[in-house]
Chains A and B, each alone.
Chain A
Amino acid sequence: MKERSNTESVQRALLCRRLLIIALLLSGLIAAVLWNLVCGASHLPLDLLLKALFSGPDDHLEGSAGVILWQLRLPMVLMSAVTGLSLGLAGAEMQTVLDNPLASPFTLGLSAASAFGASLAIILGLYIPGLPSEWSIAGNAFLFSIGSAFLLEMVVRLRGASAETVILFGIAMVFAFQAMVSMLQFVASEDSLQDLVFWTMGSVTRADWTKLTLLSSVFSAVMIWSFRDSLPLTALRFGDDRAAGLGVDVRRVRLAALIRISLLAALAVAFSGTIGFVGLVAPHIARRLVGEDHRLYLPAAALSGGIILCLACLAARTLVPGEVLPVGIMTALVGVPFFLGIVLRREKTE
């Protein structure tokens, strides 16, 4: 009996440590957002910043500080935070349901498909009357991203489709959709071309409050939805058969996850363009920090994604004085070595 209480307390300590890590990640994200607000072309000292922040968007007490904060920096920084959260969560779920540590919306072509869908909406002028154009663009991006998600899932289910085959298939989709986006660029008129170039290189500089509201609402809804599926998702990590034996409706859980992933990938791309590798790296960090109980793993992956993208955004804005680099370039610079690292480690273990 002594042994028993011991195990129980070890478990409780483990849980407390992991909850603490989640709290730290959350504080890290808030700190990264604040850091972003302070830094930039014109330095905003923290006291001025806080004053402008608390006096609200309409009351421009300090004149230019209020404008810089509410119209430029805050939408952009919050956009990178929420985009990072979305990509982190999408990547985490994707690695679980496809059982593949190299899966992410970017590496398997969901982002490219979304970019094509968004471009197509712009070129063809596919706007739903009465709704903001963001909605139609995001909607079309979603159609293409969910289409490619189901194609991927079909390849996974085909007998003998190994992790490597799936990755190669995903990369083929990336190439195909990128080629089609380039083709659209070729035939596009001068002013829509500006829009398209933006999608091929992710950037958060076009953020505004409408997009931000839309993306945050979808992210919140999806986070709650996936959290409710966190037990069955954890079971999927043990393989389909074992999960089904444990009472998990594997097809339903996987279907729901694919819809969520496609939603997040499509909206992230429609508003911020193709930002690679955040969705790949964040889940690996989360697994190391809190393990794979998805009740902890999913929030941790989302938060890691948010922090990564905020830091990338900071680097993109401050690395070259007077210039704002596309944030997608920053994440690629960090992400590519990481991607290779995972590939090489897999090689070694097999």
Chain B
Amino acid sequence: MTEFQAGPLSLSFGRKQVLHEVRTEVLRGGTMTALLGPNGSGKSTFLRAVAGVIRANGPIMLDGMNLARMSVQEKARYCAYMPQLLPPPVRMSVVEVVLLSLRLGGNYVGASAAMERVDAVLASLGIMHLADAMMGELSGGQRQMIGLAQALVRSPKLLLLDEPLSALDPRYQFIVMDALKRETVLRNMVTLVVLHDPAVALRQVDSAMMLRTGRVIASGVVEDIVTPEIMAEAYGVRARIERGSDGAAMVSVEGVV
């Protein structure tokens, strides 16, 4: 069973401390965890630190290995990271872009097997029709989907996604969350995803952690995190959580506190 635990991680930019001993619970393979919190609370910074894009002090343990001690190349074998910034409209075709990710992954499997994996990922994200398009012809949301495919195609043990829904229409938001849940279970991944909408988290993920000004203010099962009290503390809003007739949870924000 895959097990992951990061932190406590602390990090400063110059004299400004952005992360204060942020740590995750012990997360298991096949589960999705949402990283929640208001703008500027340090979600992206934490994810970048876990991905090793920036250095933070503290252990990042995956199945007994300390990712914090690994070189970038070595780490990329176990961990895939998708940053918040959308992929730019580079002059390359979609398939080339996704293949690039596999080639750099350190466990390249040969041309035809690689092509098969690329196709499988594009199909599971419902973007097979974009396979031969050039990146420059795509919309921001479509490029975001390609960025996600770059991360998913490596079938990592640890998947780190920074706001994967930010540029997507409702249909693709649903498709992405659905595909993530499916792949997470299928490949027994630990998936850590930054979401800016707590309502999406409440419906789609298993556990969550809430950040505010670089500190974890709550973490655990998602139902215990997305609550009116914690929403008020983290975002400064008055929120109501309701169960629809199908049992699905809904979050409505009624004002600010």
Q: Which residue of A lies closest to B118 (CB)?
A: A7
Q: Which residue of B lies closest to A1 (CB)?
A: B119
A178 adjacent to chain B (CB < 8 Å): no
**Segment at the B interface, from A72-80, A244-252, A258-266, A325-333:** A244-252
Q: How many residues of B contact A (CB 8 A)?
A: 42
Query: B83 to A247, Cβ gap below 8 A?
Result: no
CA distance A287 to B53 in the complex (A): 28
Residue from B76, B80, B105, B132 within 8 A of A7 (CB atoms): B132
Q: A293 and B96 in contact (CB under 8 A), knowing A241-B53, A249-B73?
A: yes
A93 smallest CB distance to B (angstroms): 16
Question: Contact residue range for chain A?
Answer: 20 to 34
CA distance A13 to B159 in the complex (A): 33
What is the 8 Å Cβ interface bit string for chain B, positions 88-99, against chain A (1 contact, 0 not)? Answer: 101111011100
Q: Which residue of A lies closest to B160 (CB)?
A: A245
Q: A-B contact count, CB below 8 Å?
A: 99
CA distance A292 to B112 in the complex (A): 22
Q: Which residue of A lies closest to B13 (CB)?
A: A159
B157 smallest CB distance to A (angstroms): 14
Query: A291 to B92, Cβ gap below 8 A?
Result: yes
A170 adjacent to chain B (CB < 8 Å): no
CA distance A7 to B116 in the complex (A): 10
CB under 8 Å from chain B, chain A span 227-244: 231-232, 234-235, 237-242, 244
Q: Which residue of B lies closest to A297 (CB)?
A: B91
Query: A235 to B72, Cβ gap below 8 A?
Result: no
Q: A245 and B87 in contact (CB under 8 A), knowing A291-B92, A292-B92, A293-B96?
A: no
Query: B72 to A242, Cβ gap below 8 A?
Result: no
CA distance A244 to B72 in the complex (A): 7
Residue from A3, A240, A242 within 8 A of B128 (CB atoms): A3
CA distance A4 to B147 in the complex (A): 20
Query: B87 to A244, Cβ gap below 8 A?
Result: no
B192 smallest CB distance to A (angstroms): 13
What is the 8 Å Cβ interface bit string for chain A, positions 260-302, against chain B (1 contact, 0 not)? Answer: 0000000000000000000000000001100111000000000
Residue from B53, B91, B97 within 8 A of A245 (CB atoms): B53
CB under 8 Å from chain A, chain B span 209-257: none
A217 adjacent to chain B (CB < 8 Å): no
Query: B53 to A7, Cβ gap below 8 A?
Result: no
Instruction: List A contacts of B134 (CB < 8 A).
Output: 291
Instruction: List B contacts of A245 (CB < 8 A).
Output: 51, 53, 76, 80-83, 151, 160
Query: A244 to B51, Cβ gap below 8 A?
Result: yes
CA distance A249 to B80 in the complex (A): 15
CA distance A10 to B132 in the complex (A): 7
Q: A238 and B87 in contact (CB under 8 A), knowing A244-B53, A247-B75, A291-B96?
A: yes
B69 adjacent to chain A (CB < 8 Å): no
Instruction: List A contacts of B100 (CB < 8 A).
Output: 231, 234-235, 246, 293
CB under 8 Å from chain B, chain A span 1-34: 3-4, 7-8, 10-11, 14
Residue from B85, B91, B103, B147 within 8 A of A291 (CB atoms): B91
B150 adjacent to chain A (CB < 8 Å): yes
Q: A241 and B48 in contact (CB under 8 A), knowing A247-B105, A248-B72?
A: yes
CB under 8 Å from chain A, chain B span 157-187: 160
CA distance A193 to B82 in the complex (A): 56
B142 adjacent to chain A (CB < 8 Å): no
Residue from A4, A240, A247 within 8 A of B106 (CB atoms): A247
CA distance A7 to B82 in the complex (A): 25
Contacts A/B (CB < 8 Å), 24 sampled: A3-B119, A7-B115, A7-B119, A7-B131, A11-B95, A11-B132, A231-B103, A231-B104, A235-B100, A239-B83, A239-B85, A239-B87, A241-B53, A245-B76, A245-B82, A245-B151, A246-B76, A246-B104, A246-B105, A249-B73, A287-B91, A288-B91, A292-B90, A293-B92
Q: Which 4 A-B pairs have the closest CB atoms?
A: A247-B76, A245-B81, A241-B83, A291-B91
